[in-house]
Amino acid sequence: MLEHTLIVVGPGGVGKGPLADLIRDDAIALDPYRLRKDGPRKDSDDPLYAPPKLRADLRAVLEGLGDCVQQLSCGSEKMEWFPKARVLFFTVRGEWQCLVLHGLEGAVAKAELYAPVLPALLALPGIGAALGNARVLVLNPSHESLLEMSDWADLESRTQQNVELRGDAQSSVQKRVGTIPTEAPAWRAILKTAAGREVKGWPFAEHRFKKEDKRQLLREARKVILDTHPDLAIFFRSGSAI
């Protein structure tokens, strides 16, 4: 069983991916496979890409071994849980992802998951127990806290800028901006729980890591997070190790 899990969430292009290089070397990575219909992201190694056919193949194997799928309610998204194998399928903006939670052991783990699925995911006994003490870090590019926002206009504007500068196709930009009204209420709900941690005014968008000194940006990002939430230090490398 894991002791602690850090789940990083936030809008598209905000810079969740690069933070993987801040995490301790002995941490277990729980990032899901993305079963994208359009294939891997352009201009990216996209190591977590998997073909959509994988879902059908895995479901057939698991059901053949006697594992009965549980269909779970998750708002506008879909979720399927195989309790024996601890394999989870869920949709993100309508596209399937796959998360394998079988045989997890260690002090810490880090995950990047779609916020609207988190309440249903963490409520499952087989998942909640497997993750240990979970913290959810919300990276908010706006200078106003999600708890205080009256609308999502500024968040949508900053997200559009970040994903455009990242180089996304216009269809991808529209998709990520268009789901802010779905994601933001989930981020806000998480921040009202003991697990929630917010960093507002998050300045380390993903596109910056392609143009600037990556190590320096990571050191600065680590300092910003720990100045706000020192309890998250358990998940990170020391500054000198970056």
**139 within a domain of the structure (yes/no):** yes
* Distance from C-alpha of 151 to C-alpha of 162, rounded to nearest angstrom: 19
* Distance from C-alpha of 113 to C-alpha of 110, rounded to nearest angstrom: 10
Separation in Å, CA 239 to CA 9, 215, 217, 226: 23, 10, 12, 11
For the segment 160-182, the average pLDDT, to the nearest whole number, is 95
Length of the chain: 242
Quote the domain boundaries for residue 187.
2-33+106-241
**153 within a domain of the structure (yes/no):** yes
**235 within a domain of the structure (yes/no):** yes
CATH code for the domain in which residue 186 is found: 3.40.50
**232 within a domain of the structure (yes/no):** yes
**Residue 189 has which token pair?**
């709900």
Query: Residue 157, Cα to own-chain centre: how many angstroms?
Result: 21
For 118-160, write each residue's pLDDT tens digit.
878 877 877 766 788 899 999 999 999 999 999 999 999 999 9
pLDDT at residue 241, rounded to an integer: 87
pLDDT at residue 240, rounded to an integer: 86
**Residue 96 has which token pair?**
């399937």
User: Which DSSP state fits 65?
Assistant: T
pLDDT band at 42 (very low <50, low <70, confident <90, very high): low
pLDDT at residue 43, rounded to an integer: 56
- Residue 137 three-state SS: strand
**98 within a domain of the structure (yes/no):** no
**224 within a domain of the structure (yes/no):** yes
**22 within a domain of the structure (yes/no):** yes
Contacts of 172 (CB under 8 A, 6+ apart): 12, 163
CA nearest to 25, candidates 110, 117, 132? 110
Average pLDDT, the chain: 91
Could you tell me whether strands 28-29 and 106-112 are parallel, antiparallel, or unpaired per DSSP bridges?
Answer: parallel
**62 within a domain of the structure (yes/no):** no
User: Based on the structure, what is the number of domains in the chain?
Assistant: 1
For 211-224, write each residue's pLDDT tens digit.
999 999 999 999 99
The reported pTM is: 0.83
Backbone angles phi, psi at 234, to 5 degrees: -60, -25
* Distance from C-alpha of 209 to C-alpha of 194, rounded to nearest angstrom: 31
Q: Which residue has the tokens 């929630």?
A: 196
